[in-house]
Amino acid sequence: MIESLTARFLQLAEPFRQYYERAGFNDPFETYILNVARALVLLLITSAVVLTLIHVSLFNMNPLLALPASLLLTFATTAIFTGLALYYPVYRTYSRRVSIEKDLPFTVAYMASLASSGMGLERLLERVAVYETNRELRRELFLTLRDIKALGLDTLTALARLASRSPSALLSSFILALREAYATSGDLKSVLMHYAKLMLDEKTQRLRSLVNTLSMLAEVYTTMMVAAPLMFITMLIVMNVLGGGVLGLSPDILILVLTFIVIPFSALGIYIAIDGLMSRV
Q: Tell me the C-alpha distance between 239 and 255, whole Å.
A: 11
Domain boundary pick from 181, 202, 223 = 202
How many structural domains does the chain have?
A: 3
The boundaries of the domain holding residue 47 are: 2-98
pTM to 2 decimals? 0.77
Query: What whole-number percentage of the chain has pLDDT above 90?
Result: 38
34 confidence band (pLDDT: 50, 70, 90): confident
Q: Is the pLDDT of residue 211 over 70?
A: yes
Which run of H or E residues covers position 109? helix 63-116
One domain, residues 237 and 197: no
pLDDT in tens, 246-279: 666 677 788 888 888 888 888 888 888 888 788 7
Average pLDDT over residues 220-249: 78
pLDDT in tens, 138-166: 999 999 999 999 998 999 999 999 999 99
Domain boundary pick from 157, 185, 202 = 202
Is-contact 47 40, C-beta < 8 A? no
Cα-based distances in Å from 97 to 45, 84, 92, 131, 200: 37, 19, 9, 20, 17
One domain, residues 184 and 208: no
Domain boundary pick from 71, 98, 125 = 98
